[in-house]
Amino acid sequence: MDSVLRAENISKSFGPIEVLSGISLDLRPGEVLAVIGENGAGKSTLMRILSGHLPPTKGSLHLNGQPITFSGPVDAEAHGIVLVHQEILLAPDLTVAQNLFLGREIRRFGFVDDKSMRERTRAILHELGTNIDPDREVSRLSIADRQLVQIARALLVPHTVVAFDEPTAVLTPIEAESLFEIIRKLRSQGVAVLYISHRLNEVKAVADRVTVLRDGRHIATRDIEGLEPLEMARLMVGRDMSKLYPEKPETASDQVVLTVRDMAVPGYVENASFTLRRGEILGFGGLIGAGRTELFEGIVGLRPGQGTVTLDDRNVHFRDAREAMAAGIVYLSEDRKGKGLLLQQNLRINLSLAALDKFGRGSFIDKGAEEKALDQAIKDFDIRTRSRDLLAGQLSGGNQQKLLLAKMMLLEPRIVIIDEPTRGVDIGTKEQIYRFIASLAAEGKAVVVISSEMQELIGLCHRVVVMRNGRVAGEVAQADLSEDAIVYLATGVHEERAAEIAAGHA
Partner 1 sequence: MTETVLPTRAEKRKFKMDMRALSPFIALIVLIIAGALINPDFLTASNLLNVVTRSAFIAIIAVGATFVIAGGGLDLSVGSMAALTAGVMILTLNNLGGGDVGTLAIGLLAAIALGAACGLANGLIVTFGRIEPFIVTLGTMGIFRSLVIWLAAGGTITMRNFELRELYRPVYFGNIFGIPYPIIAFLVVAAIGALILYRTSFGRHVVALGSNEDVARYSGVPIWRVRTLTYVIQGICVGIAVLVYVPRLGSATPTTGLLWELQAITAVVIGGTALKGGIGRVWGTVVGAVILELVANIMVLSNFVSEFLVGAVQGAIIIIAMLVQRSVHRGR
Residues making contact with partner 1 (CB under 8 A): 14-15, 17, 19, 39-45, 302, 320-322, 324-325, 331, 333, 335, 338-345, 349, 352-354, 356-357, 359-360, 363-365, 386-387, 389-391, 393-397, 407, 423-424, 426
Q: Which is nearer to partner 1, 98 or 396 (CB)?
A: 396
At its nearest, how many Å lie between partner 1 and the CB of residue 58?
A: 15
For 437-494, the three-class secondary structure string (H helix, E strand, C coil) is HHHHHHCCCEEEEECCCHHHHHHHCCEEEEEECCEEEEEECHHHCCHHHHHHHHHCCC
Q: Which is nearer to partner 1, 339 or 471 (CB)?
A: 339
Q: Which is nearer to partner 1, 44 or 98 (CB)?
A: 44
CA distances from 29 to 194, 212, 232, 256, 489 (A): 11, 20, 24, 58, 39
Q: Which is nearer to partner 1, 152 or 203 (CB)?
A: 203
The Cα 210–Cα 21 span in angstroms is: 18
Asked whether 292 and 284 are in contact (CB, 8 A), the reply is yes
At its nearest, how many Å lie between partner 1 and the CB of residue 259?
A: 23
Q: Buried (b) or exposed (e) across 462-477, using 16+ Cβ within 10 A?
A: bbbbbbbebbbbeebe
Q: Which is nearer to partner 1, 109 or 364 (CB)?
A: 364
The Cα 143–Cα 230 span in angstroms is: 30
What's 86's DSSP letter? S
Q: Which is nearer to partner 1, 51 or 352 (CB)?
A: 352
DSSP string, 324-390: HHHTTEEEE-S-IIIII--TTSBHHHHHHSTTGGGGEETTEE-HHHHHHHHHHHHHHTT---S-TT-
At its nearest, how many Å lie between partner 1 and the CB of residue 228?
A: 24
Q: Which is nearer to partner 1, 30 or 424 (CB)?
A: 424
Q: Measured in whole angstroms, how far is the alpha carbon of residue 282 from the centre of its chain?
A: 20
User: Identity (one letter) of the amino acid at 249?
Assistant: P
Q: Which is nearer to partner 1, 104 or 361 (CB)?
A: 361
Report strand pairing: 360-361 vs 314-316: unpaired
DSSP 3-state of 89: coil
CB contact set of 261 (below 8 Å; sequence gap of 6+): 273, 307, 308, 309, 310
Asked whether 441 and 385 are in contact (CB, 8 A), the reply is no
The Cα 276–Cα 254 span in angstroms is: 9
Give the H/E segment covering residue 7: strand 5-14
At its nearest, how many Å lie between partner 1 and the CB of residue 272?
A: 21
Q: Which is nearer to partner 1, 19 or 125 (CB)?
A: 19
CA distances from 5 to 2, 152, 281 (A): 9, 22, 46
